[in-house]
Structure formats: structure tokens, C-alpha cells
Copies of this chain bind each other. A is one copy, B any other.
Amino acid sequence: MDHQSIIKNVNRHIVLNENELLFFLSRLKKKKIDRKSLILTQGQLCEYIYFVESGALRAFYLGEAGKESTVMFAVKDWWVTDMYCFINEKPAMLTIEAIEDSLVYQLKKSDLDDLYVKIPQFERLFRVLMQNAYIREQLRVIENLSLSAEERYAIFVNKYPEVAHKVKQKQIASYLGITAEFLSMIKNKKAKDLK
């Protein structure tokens, strides 16, 4: 059956009856995203939040000097959007691209707002999702402040092994806030240390 993984994701946190579930599913639109194509571009209005059914996406910020900072990777079972711009209906600060052919469900802001009213349990679901996201980002801030690039890399690989082997090192480097060259050096140094 279709929608399997998103239903499972929702059921982890709330219990919906048949009608509620159908109403929810009716608000989703399935989208195939080709590798390298964008589901959100910096400057565009960010209307949707996405749930990743399969594949992998990357959300990044493009700075003045053309430097990319990877904000998050989203693989199977992750929700992703430019939250600030989604909530405030502002032009996106982030760009979101598919790193592989992906399948996502998109949910429109107005539909989500509607869900909150019609099925208040969605408040709970998103309360929990936002809470997890907050905790995750706060932990990342702490790591950025207190650890060296080398330590952060080790933690990243350990925490997201599936992501680490899917994405380019360049992209991991931009997630860690270092250059691709320096990450290369770190890895190489580590290999030498083991000898």
C-alpha cells in the first residue's frame, strides 16, 4: 500500500481514526524528485513542508561569497522545509535539493493549519516533531561551540552513518562548517594515526 512510511511516522506519536487518516492523506501530494533538482530555491516562497518517503535531500544556505552551509540532510522518514519561511510565509533563505532520486509527500501550509484545527492531535504530532528538531539543533550548537572539527566529524559519522556514506564529502564538510580540503586532511590524518 501507498503512504506506508508516513502513516507509520504519524502513528508513532498520535492515533487517528479512519476518517481522520483519510482526510490527512487527502491533503498530501506525492512527488518524485529527480536527483539534482530543487524542491525549494532561495528567494522563492516556501509553501510546503515535505516528508521523505525515500531518497535523500539536502537543505543548505548559500552565503554572500557563494559559500554553501548545509543545514540538514533529510533521508527516509524525515520532515524537511525552511521552517522559518514556511511558518512566516517569507521567501526562503534555504535551498533544498535532492541528492538522489527521491519520493516525498508535500503538505501545504494552509492545509497544515487546517489540520491543526480539524484534528487537534496534529498539534501534538508537530509539537513532538518541533521539540525533537529543537533538541537536535541545540545539541548541534553545543557541538559546534565546544568541539574541534575532527571531533564533530567523528560524531557526525557515528550519528548518521547512512547519510555519511550517501553524500559527498564536500557536503559533509559544509555541514560541519569546514572546507572540503580540511576534511580531506582530517580523514587522512586519522588513517595515518591508525598505522
Contacts and interface: CB of A to CB of B under 8 A. Distances in A.
Contact of A127 (B63, B126, B144, B145): B126
Contacts of A71: 138, 141-142
Contacts of A93: 142
Given A123-B123, A127-B130, A146-B61, A138 B137 contact: yes
Nearest to A63: B146
Nearest to A85: B135
Contacts of A32: none
Interface string A121-141: 001101100110111011111
A83 interface: yes
Contacts of A83: 131, 134-135, 138
B84 A138 contact: yes
Number of copies: 2
Give the size category of A's interface with B.
20 to 34
A61 B144 CA distance: 12
Interface in A93-142: 93, 116, 120, 123-124, 126-127, 130-131, 133-135, 137-142
Contact of A134 (B123, B137, B145, B146): B137
User: Which of A83, A124, A131, A145 counts the most chain B CB atoms within 10 A?
Assistant: A145
Interface of A: 61, 63, 67, 69, 71, 83-84, 87, 93, 116, 120, 123-124, 126-127, 130-131, 133-135, 137-142, 144-146, 174, 177
The 3 lowest CB-CB distance pairs between A and B, nearest first, are: A137-B137, A130-B130, A127-B127
Given A124-B127, A127-B130, A146-B177, 18 more contacts: A61-B142, A61-B145, A61-B146, A63-B146, A69-B142, A69-B146, A71-B138, A71-B142, A84-B138, A120-B120, A120-B123, A123-B124, A126-B131, A133-B134, A137-B137, A144-B145, A144-B177, A145-B177
